[in-house]
Structure 1
Amino acid sequence: MNDERPSILFVCVHNAGRSQMAAGFARELGGERVQVLSAGSEPADRINPVAVEAMAEVGIDITGTQPRVLAVDDVRASDVVITMGCGDACPVFPGKRYEDWELTDPAGRPLEQVRPIRDEIRGRVEALLEGLRG
């Protein structure tokens, strides 16, 4: 991207749960310090309503987001690319920082099973943001 803030791209298959929750936490906790993108290799039609509910419980509204397809330019523009179960669908560019977060897919799971996934994502995002502080 075109400014000095580090940019983070969160990618999962459907861009409806894990990556949306991670992006929500990064926007909330990182504020103006970071740029945040999220995308999916095979985006769903809509955000997982249980993920929306789980995030609302911690005061983060992700209802205004929409699953979107991963574009090569998203990866090119990002400093850090976090993948979550999308395998080789994410293009690799030299000089980028890549991390693969092994997280349970919240799709089709009830709220009580999504909460621990949400909490794990929050912890990983907090550690990521702390590591970006220069």
Structure 2
Amino acid sequence: MSELGVDLSSVQPQLLTPELAETSDLLITMGCGEACPYVPGLKRLDWPLEDPKGKPLERVREIRDEVKARILKLIKEEGWGKAET
């Protein structure tokens, strides 16, 4: 992500708790299918993406770019604002 000017060094994964879910409008999971967490009343999308852990750098970049494309498409579909390309 630093290649794109995004600093994630201080970001840590968060456990999906009921309290966290209460503050959310949408839950996007990545490839967990039926094993994904269910939160009543929360819209959920599951994007079947490969886990980048342990993959070669070029594959990680491809996965990153696929996530970006999906996010931009979602922003456009939901009408949340002007999506950057």
What TM-score do you get using the length of structure 2 for normalisation?
0.79
> 1:92 offset after TM fit, Å?
2.2
Q: CA RMSD in A?
A: 1.7
Stretches of structure 2 that go unaligned for 5 or more consecutive residues are none
Structure 2 residue aligned with 1:92: 39
Q: Identify if the C-alpha distance between structure 1 residues 132 and 73 changes in structure 2 by more than 3 Å, giving closer, same or farther.
A: farther
Distance 1:113 1:66 in 2: 22
Question: Take 1:82 and 1:116, find their aligned partners in 2: how far apart are those partners?
Answer: 19
Question: In the TM superposition, what is the alpha-carbon distance from 1:117 to its structure 2 partner?
Answer: 0.2
* Count of residues in Structure 1 that have an aligned counterpart in Structure 2: 79
* TM-score (structure 1 length as normaliser): 0.53
1:133 corresponding residue in structure 2: 80
Q: Unpaired segments of 5 or more residues in structure 1?
A: 1-54
Query: Could you say which residue in structure 2 is the equivalent of 1:22?
Result: none
Stretches (4+) displaced over 2 A: 85-89
Q: Higher strand proportion, which one?
A: 1
Q: 1:132 to 1:78 in 2, by over 3 A?
A: farther
**Bigger radius of gyration:** 2
